[in-house]
Amino acid sequence: MQKVLSLSDFRWLALPPLSFLLLLVGLPLSRLLYEGGLAFSPALLSDPYLQWRLGWSLLQAAATCALTLLLGLPLAWVLAHFEFLGRALLLRVLMLPFVMPTLVAGLGVLALFGPHGLSGLNLQDTPWLLLYGNLFYNLPLLIRAAVDGFDHVPASRLMVARTLGASRWRAFWRVEWPVVRPWLASALCLIFLYCFSGFGLALLLGGQRYATVEVEIYSLVAYELNLADAGALALLMLLLGAVIALLYALIERRLARPDKRSPPLRQPVQGWPQRLLLLASLLLLALFAAAPLLAVLLRALLADAAAWRVLLQDDTQLALGNTLRFSLLALLLATLLGLLHGLAARSSAGLRALMFLPFMVSPVCVAFGLLLAYPAYSATLALLVAAYALLAYPFVAKAVVSARDALPAALPNAARTLGASPWRVFWRVSLPLMRPALRRGMAFAAATAVGEFAVSLFLSRPEWLTLTTLIYQHLGRPGAANLEAALVLSSVLLLLALLAFMAIEWPEKTHARTS
Amino acid sequence: MFKKTVLLLALAGASLTTLAAELRVMTHSSFSLPKERIAEFEKQSGAKLAIIKGGDAGEMLNKLILTRANPVADVVYGIDNTLIGKANAAGVLEPTSSKVGRSVAAANLPGAVAIDYGYVTLNIDKAWFAKQKLALPATLDDLAKPAYKDLLVVENPATSSPGLAFLLATIAGKGEEGAFQWWGKLRDNGLKVAKGWSEAYYTDFTRNGGARPIVVSYATSPAAEVFYSKEKLAESPTANLALKGGVFMQVEGVARVKGGQQPALAQQFVDFLRSEAVQKDLQTSMWMYPAVAGVALAPVFKHAEQPASFSNPDLKAMQHKTAAWVSRWTRLVIKNAP
């Protein structure tokens, strides 16, 4: 087939996101490395303590990937194949762990599995809680990506396979797995990078013995101002992260193939075996993704009426307004950048890998680098919003790339042949087809912006108070009233996030129409 | 014509700066004063206060050091006695003094003006000890005994200021070698290390659903527990446990930033923090004791008994050795090395 030009063949689309990355990551990081003089002690890397830390970081990231895949894939399969009441809502609720401040999630987990936990099991300071924490934060990412992948499996092909006598398992293996693989690849890459460089819930639950290399970098920069060693470690982490991202990009580009998009095959639940299967899946999901959140909600509801009066305070109103304002601004910027990057990255493994750059660099190094590179802008809102967008836009870019890969070439080509301009083709054909994935990416991006990520590393002002920072302020002081206020505010945060997810990902009725 | 434009521009620029005279105050993330006080200062001085939070005190100082060529603030509040040596050596502070009030005896910060002080010390969950009928440890060494196995949580000195303060107290109290020997025994006795104060207090302390009835916290925490209690408490559910070698006195201060743009306003702000109104308010907004002598203590502070003694290393030692001590501690306690 002759190749027809389409908008996404223009690599120049990558120019804005690449300049953004250069300004927000490249320059600040180089400035920091320059300041440190790169005179790091070579002994640093031969230090057994750091080697152990590095090994642990790699191991727990890999283990988390394996576990989320093992648990998440079957769950996603069920969610993708059965239609049931509340399915759309469930998929959105599933993203709530993402907005929960780490410390609050920790309180929720301990309310269940702590010394006085509701479950009666005390798992505090055991590796189980560590794994549980990792699954809590990372399952949503994998499940949402996998469900999206399953939705791209042409129903006709699956039916043909089944009619020809293929077992469910064989049909999965030969028909569905090849379609879902690329979607999983990007989610796993993200999960790996998150766990590799994160502070996270696992650390909170497992104690400092399980600290990642990022914790070392943080203390080298923020406490010792040892920029040389910190820079060397950050570079090493960047290098390892880049290898992972590039590996993912190569795998995904090889696996990616356009699909004849047909309505996904979703059946109502029939018969007891299916009902049991669905029930078991929902229970597993509730245990891993919802239970800690429910515990937080429950504790907030059981709190004194006085604790709810925190909602009337000026600070809370300010924080609510700011959270909405900042998240919206960051989401707009992230969507624009993510869309451009995602479209431009289609044929380039390098660009694909590069969109994960925000998760590969050490956050504390970027924060201090920004301070060095742009002291005059260091306490401005523009920089703060840009930082939010930086951490949010890979979600959009990732979704766009996957959706663009799955886009059948025939439709845009037909439109081009019929005389539509590349821009018109994009606007009327490609974009509508990519919309569900784009919206999923945007919902995750919004969740990132609402959540706590890196907020505390940048200079901030009291008038920029957000819900997350307000929650941490309350948890920075002793007293039962502070704890209850934090739990109430966390519930508000959850509700707000859920509303935002519903608004961004309003269920579309297109599937019903096409069949 | 050209000259005229330049002149006009300069005038416009000058009037703009006078209109929007702004004092940039760098603080650590725990800085908090009632809004009325801030408004009062803005009215008195005619300037706008831009408060910039730079993270934890140690992190904030490092941000100031990194930006000393282009200072991002005119005055800084929150540098304490563990950091003042480093700040002075890095040359980020303009030697600052204040004529307002007289400081209490131990509250002294070379080159800066003391605003408040407090103590980092062990806190206990009274109900837990009553229920278990366990006697309180009488010395630091008791904490390393089997009876007190798995009871203590401390903050990591590499990521938390109270954690660092407690480590420094043990070093001053037991001598460097003695302290690290003790930490090694503590590690083998089930010591838990949390990332920061909030994590230790809210996920590990028994008072809040954790499993450890002894936590490194502040001497004012029992008072704050009463102040922020749900029903009005007659006595605090927690208490200070001031063991010899386990109390650090922290003095926090304010200073002008070298190269800052508003030296006169900055001085005004320094004096403002020493004023009686601020010295009264900071007690229950930041939970520290006032550094100006003769200021009345808030009634709720009767629940926060001031430790009779403390053990701080001298300022010079803290300036030069802290990094090495923290790294030695990390290797010993976290790495689990013999």
Domain ranges in chain B?
A: 2-117+251-303, 118-248+307-334
Q: How far off is chain A from B324, nearest CA to CA, in Å?
A: 10
Say which CATH topology domain B2-117+251-303 has. Answer: D-Maltodextrin-Binding Protein; domain 2 (3.40.190)
- Mean pLDDT of the region A268-286: 89
Q: State phi, psi for A149 to the nearest 5 degrees.
A: -65, -45
Into how many domains does chain A fold?
1
ipTM: 0.86
Query: What pLDDT is stored for residue B4 in this prediction?
Result: 56
Per-residue pLDDT at A102 exceeds 90: no
- Residues written for chain B: 338
A454-468 mean pLDDT: 81
Residues 6+ positions from A160 with CB-CB distance below 8 Å: none
Q: Average pLDDT, stretch A195-220? A: 76
Q: Residue A331 has which token pair?
A: 């989401």
- Residue B117 pairs with which residues in a beta bridge? B251, B289
The pLDDT of residue A513 is 35
pLDDT of residue B60: 93
Which chain A residues have a beta carbon less than 8 Å from that of B193?
A: 207-209
- pLDDT for residue A6: 53
Average pLDDT, chain A: 85
Amino acid B2: pLDDT: 53
**Residue B338's pLDDT is what?**
39
B211 — contact with chain A (CB < 8 Å)? yes
Assess A262–B contact: CB distance below 8 Å, yes or no. no
Contact A132, A109 (CB under 8 A): yes
Least confident of A3-12, A27-36, A436-445, A450-459: A3-12
**Are A223 and B159 an interchain contact pair (Cβ–Cβ within 8 Å)?**
yes
Q: What is the pLDDT of residue B20?
A: 59
| Structural domain that includes position A109 | 7-259+282-514
pLDDT band with cut points at 50, 70 and 90 for residue A40 = low
Element (H, E) at B25: strand B22-27
Residue B292 in 3-state DSSP? strand
Whether the pLDDT of residue A465 is over 50: the answer is yes
Instruction: Answer yes or no: are the C-beta atoms of B258 and B325 closer than 8 Å.
Output: no
In total, the C-beta contacts within 8 angstroms joining chain A to chain B are: 150
> Two tokens at A213?
């290399």
CATH number at residue A448: 1.10.3720.10
Kindly tell me if the per-residue pLDDT of A263 is higher than 70: no
A355 in any annotated domain: yes
Of the candidate ranges A191-205, A382-396, B97-111, the one whose mean pLDDT is the lowest: A191-205
Residue B240: per-residue pLDDT? 95
**Cβ(A230)–Cβ(A36) under 8 Å?**
yes
pLDDT, chain B, mean:
90
Are A478 and B224 in contact (CB < 8 Å)? Answer: yes
In angstroms, the CA A137 to CA A193 distance is 13
Q: Is A460 among the domain residues?
A: yes
pLDDT at A1 over 50: no
Whether residue B1 has pLDDT greater than 60 = no
CA angle (A479, A314, A318) in 5-degree steps:
105
For residue A344, CA distances in Å to A248, A335, A391 come to 17, 14, 19
| A116 in contact with chain B, both atoms CB, cutoff 8 A | yes
Looking at the domain assignment, is residue A264 inside a domain?
no
**Measured between CB atoms, does A459 come within 8 Å of chain B?**
yes
Q: pLDDT at position A261, please?
A: 60
Alpha helices in A26-176 (DSSP H): 27-36, 43-46, 48-81, 87-93, 102-113, 127-151, 155-163, 168-171
3-state helix, strand and coil shares in percent for chain B, rounded to the nearest 5: 45, 20, 35
d(C-alpha A437, C-alpha A419), whole Å = 27
Pairing of strands B248-257, B93-94: antiparallel
Q: How far is A338 from chain B (nearest CA, A)?
A: 30
* Chain B touched by A29 (CB under 8 Å): no
- Whether A25 is covered by a domain: the verdict is yes
- Mean pLDDT of the A89-116 span: 86
B193 CB within 8 Å of a chain A CB: yes
Work out the minimum CA distance from B113 to partner chain A, whole angstroms.
Answer: 23
Question: For A462, which DSSP code?
Answer: G
* Pairing of β B248-257 and β B75-80: antiparallel
Tokens of A244: 């992972």
Q: Which of A189-198, A202-211, A444-453, B304-313 has the lowest mean pLDDT?
A: A202-211
Q: Once rounded to an integer, what is the mean pLDDT over residues B80-105?
A: 93
Once rounded to an integer, what is the mean pLDDT over residues A308-330? 89
Shortest CB distance from A476 goes to which of B58, B198, B331?
B198
Over residues A53-71, the mean pLDDT reads: 89
Give residue B111's pLDDT: 93
pLDDT at res. B46: 92
| Closest approach of B280 to chain A, Cα-based (Å) | 19
Amino acid at A357: L
Structural tokens at position B334? 């976290």
Alpha-carbon gap, residue B111 to B102, rounded angstroms: 16
Nearest neighbour of B199 by CB, restricted to A204, A226, A462: A204
Q: Are B312 and B322 in contact (CB under 8 A)?
A: no
The domain defined by B118-248+307-334 carries CATH number 3.40.50.410? no
The predicted structure's pLDDT at residue B15: 47
Cβ-contact A397, A345 below 8 angstroms? yes
